[in-house]
Structures are given as structure tokens and as C-alpha cells.
Structure 1
Amino acid sequence: MRIGVVVNPIAGMGGRVGLKGTDGKVDEARARGARERAPGRAVEALSALRAAATDDLTVFTAAGDLGEAECAEAGLDAAVVYRPNDDADSPGDTTAADTRAAVRAFLDEGVDLVFFVGGDGTAVDVAETINDAGSDVPMLGVPAGVKIYSSVFGVTPKDAGRIAATFDRVADREVNDIDEDAYRGGEVHTELKAVVRVPVADAVQSSKQVGGGTVESLAGGFASEADPDVTYVLGPGSTVGAIKRQLGFEPSPLGVDVWRDGEVLVRDGTEAEILAALGDRNEVVVSPIGGQGFIFGRGNHQISPDVIRQSTVTVVASREKLDGVGVLRVDTDDEAVDESLRGWQKVRVGRYEHRLLKVV
């Protein structure tokens, strides 16, 4: 097995600081106190790959934080086949062009898989480079971006690493991306960017579905039971957005809002702003992503492990959305928090009705 590993070190930086993406926003993310997320997830995935791989494994990568450092930390002996430039000493000095150049170098080495760490934008860079080269080499992603609409990622970093080491067949999957500026303005416009070959496994996530069912009765029931002594951390999406309107305010576009006793404490909050607004009793309200089932770790990184640890969690969803989900998923970057969330979760689907769904 010959695997090419490339890491987008800035992927996901905009999540916890409320930017809903990092494209063109790296400096602003850093100014808000954002920290690199992708390198740690890369090490987690590469460690799983190393544990699951046979002795017959050859790894190619790019210099520095584009993969070399993460491979070394995971205990993988990797050959560096691409170096950006002598001045690229920090993650901010690398670009999408470096990702594409690294993938071309991997193809020249005859790899069996391109293993990348990033989000949908990185997936587009990898997929288009493979397709432009006329190659049918498969690709597999470690999810590290803010929003993950493409069906080319492992469900978690560990899943991705195990799949990369053990897959034996591939199938065509879609690479999708959205306009981040429109997304920040509350509009979701997905665009099919490429169709590529991806390893087949249960732990490769589905593409994200947009839209849901009628949620008016659900939202009305929730609002009628709101406790004035509870601080509500209300996640993004149309379902929770309906609850916000029932509580008497217009939701921020695809953002996280904090509300207590008739007052909006935070609009479109960052992790730090949400933490500062928490009270003695806190409740996080989220809805799963249609088609994927994620309640944490996709599109709502502002609701961080520190926020979750200080809160109870309520999950709401339309019946139609749950019919297409099967299980709920979590991926918070904190294994202890993930484990605390796993098990059976009651999901509110109507004014009074609930369903039980398992969190995995």
C-alpha cells in the first residue's frame, strides 16, 4: 500500500470563533483567538492508520505542517515529495496551490490512495487535481473543516485512518462545496464539484442533505416550556431557527444564539462569547444534520466541549429528517465528551412527541 498524506493545517480554524469557514478568513480567525484544529485530527487519523496497517506500507507527504510533522508525531516514516518554499514556516504561509501540488507529486509516485485532512474546500482541491490528471486513484478525507457536505470523509479521524489502511474496494462518491460568503449570510448553495473514487466502508459519511420537514408544532411546544432560569444555547439550522422565532427573535443566519428569559444574550456567538454568557443552568439545543446525523462537530464548533460540559443537551428534529438519519453522531475533538454523549438520546419531534435514537 502506497499512501499520499496531505494536511490543510488551517482547516476548521473558523469554527469555534463563529466564522463558519476559514476560506479567506485565516487572519480574522487568528485575531479572534482561533487555534489550529487540523493537525491534531491528522495525528489521530494517522495513528489509527499506523495501528491498522500491515508492515507493507509506504507513506509520501508534503513538508512541515502539510503532513511531515503530523506523520512524524504519529510514528510514521514518510518520504517528503513536495516542499512549498523555504519561507513557509507557519500554517498561514501555505495555500490551496500547495495542496494541489502535493497531490500531483503523490500521483507521480504511483500512490494507491490520497489521504487528506481538511474540509470541503480541501476535498475540491484534491478531487480536481486527481481528475485533471486523468487518474482514478481513490481519495479519502479526515474531517477537519467547519462544514462537511461531501461524501468522501470518514465519520471520525480514527475511522478514516482505519479505512485507509484496510479498504479493499472503492465506489464513486460526490464532492460538494458551498459559497462561504453566502453561507455566512444565511444561505446554503451547494454545488457538485467532482465525482471521485472513495473507499467503501460503513464509516464513510453520507453527503449532507439540506432541508427538513415541518417543525412549527415542535418549536411551539419547546417555546411553551422554556424555563426563565435556564440559559439556552441554540444551535444553527432551520429546525432550531423555528424555535428561536417562537421565542420571539429572528435567528442569526446559521449561527449560535444564546437566550434567557426573553433576552438574547449573544447573537451568532463565538465559543468565548457563549462561555461568558452561561449561567447556573444551561441547555444546548441542536438538530442533527440531515443525511449524516451529526449533532456536534459539523457546522457548530462554537458549541465546544467546554460549553457542552456545563450544559444539558436537547436534540430536536422533524420526523422526516430522523427517517433519513438512523443514528446520531458526535465528533467534538474531545473523546471524553463524545463518550459522555453516546448512548440513547431522546429527540423531540413534535409538540409532545419524542423518539429514541442512539448516539454513536
Structure 2
Amino acid sequence: MQYKNITIHDNAYGGYGVGTLDSGKKVFIPFAVKGDIVDIEITEDKKSFSYGIIKSLIKPSELRDNKPYCPFLNECGGCLFGNIKYEEQVRIKENILKYNFNEIENFHIDNVFYANPLRYRIKCSIKFKDGRFGFYKFNTRELISISDCPVISENIIEKVKDIAKGSVGFTELNFIENNEGKVVCDIDNIGYTNYTTKFGDLFVSPKVFSQSNRYLNTQLQETATSLLPEKGNILELYCGNGFFTITLSKTAKSILAVDFDREVIKLAKKSNIDNCKFIAYDLTRPFSPNFQFDSLFVDPSRQGLSKSVIRLIKNKLPKEIVYVSCNPTTMKRDIKNISEFYKIDKFYMFDMFPNTYHIESVAKLVLK
């Protein structure tokens, strides 16, 4: 079914433009921009909302970027906000956070951090097929062949091109670059490299999660860790390769750092942090460490905190919690779950993934 002259009145988390049909039902349209007037076709009709695609762009929004940085912006599933002027992307993400947290009393964002929206990615996953490389077309398994990706480091792209020359069949490979320009791939003999920070050496691997914005990584480290008092005993959960641990260690008395992934814990231990003990543990299981901690630092995956961690918080009631999140929906859920005891003291937004809908947030929670 097709509809004409639909006005896009908002952009939503997930990367969609939002319009309203004559019936009052909302319709979510990829690559549509707030202020566009479009003709659309419904692709999926649900009870309370629909999905659609743009058939014709009748009147473009003033918020559209008239100098697109990539020829595949309206196809590729990566940069769903890439056709929006960058300053407006940041404002859209601020509004998404404010809307998401509107049930939280007195919610406000203390500061927003953003930087160069291009060539920022130093970790990525690339698909290869018979000498070609690229990404999937939005919501499909159709490979878009590219010769460059302007949000990815040029050093990674050069290595990708070399690998593509000999690729046969289909495969997907992960890449990471350190701060000296060395690129490591899944198929390299040495599967990790050092990454030098102002706080010491981290060890990174293409196979495990690492923060990937070359311009904002240090700012994220410093801002998040500065929210905890000095000389405290800190329990850090979902610690990964020690990205925050290495910074916390400079002022903390002691740290117990925990992650479910044994491989990433092996990398974290290579940093030789004297006042920290790293352990691998499945945080979906009941957890009550034999460690007296004053503060809690958490950086979970998109799924947010496990029920076990929520129970730990309610049982131990640490003086303050720093919560780093890449998913505002699960972050809001978790904060509401402990809102009987905690309130938000500070809240920061980091645009770690420009041109996408992803949002990184940092909250400091204190006891009421």
C-alpha cells in the first residue's frame, strides 16, 4: 500500500524517520529525515505502527546534508543518520535521550561530547565475497560492494583491499587498528596488539569488543572514571580489556574487575595493573564477590545489566555507581529498577558512532 505526501516529523532510535498516516498510526521509514515530505510504500504493517520505504522524495528537509560523504548513504545499513547534517544528528540523539528518560524526575544532560564524524572507526567488521568487499544493504543479505568507507580508518581500508584481492567465496572478518597505525585482522598469526593510552598500554584484538572512536576514546575514559572518588575500592563489572580499568587504577585503592569473556580477561591481564584483580565470571549467574567495595563501575553490552547484577546492587547499595551504556533503552530500564535507592547525579552523552543511530551515555548514580 502506498501513501503520498507524508511529512516526517521526527527521527527515532533505530535510525528511522517517523511519519503519521491518515489513520493516526505511526510509520517508521529508514533514511527519512525530519522535515522531509515523502511518498512511501508500507513494507510491514503491525497493529500499532508500520514500517515503510521512500518511493519518492517530494520535498527534502533543510536538515539533509547536501554534500553526502558516501554514495551508498541511502542503501547501506551502517550510516542510517549519515544523510543528516552532523550538528543536527547530535541534536537528534540528545532529543532521543530526553524522550527515553522522560519518566526520570529532573532528567537533564550535563554535557555532550562529539568530534570528527569521518575516519573515526578503528575497529570494524567487513564482508568479503569473491574479490569484493562491503556491507549489507539495509535489512537484507545483499552485499553492497564498495571501494572505501569514509567512517573507517584509511589504514584498515588499505588492509581490507589487500585481503579482498585473494578472497574466494564469502567470509566476514574483523579488524582493529592501534594508535600507531598497525592493523590486526582475525586471520593474522598474532591476534592482538598493544594500544597506548595516556594511562598505559591496553591490549586489543579484532575478536573482542573495544571502544572504536579514535577521537573520543580518551575523553570517554577520563570523563567516566573521574566520576568516582579517589582512594576507593571499586568493583568493575563488564570490564572488557581494561579500557576503563587502566584509568581507574591511577586513583583507586583497589579494583576487582569482572567480565564473562575469558579471552578478553587474558588481554586485560597483559596490562599488568598492580592494584587490580581480573576474573572471568558469567554475570547472569548469582554473584556476591568476597570483596568490600565502595563504588561500582559498569559498562554492559546492549542487553544492559543482568538480573543478578541488579540484585547485587540492591543488596550491597554501593555509595555511587557509574553506568556506561551503548543502549539508552536498557539503561533507562536498569536505572528505573534501582530508582528506589538511587538518583542520577551526572549524565553525559558521547557520540562515539557518528552517522549511525547509536548513542553512548555515562551516568553517575548516587544514593538518595
TM-score (norm 2): 0.33
**Larger-gyration structure (1/2):** 2
Which structure: greater helix fraction?
A: 1
Pick the structure with more strand per residue: 2
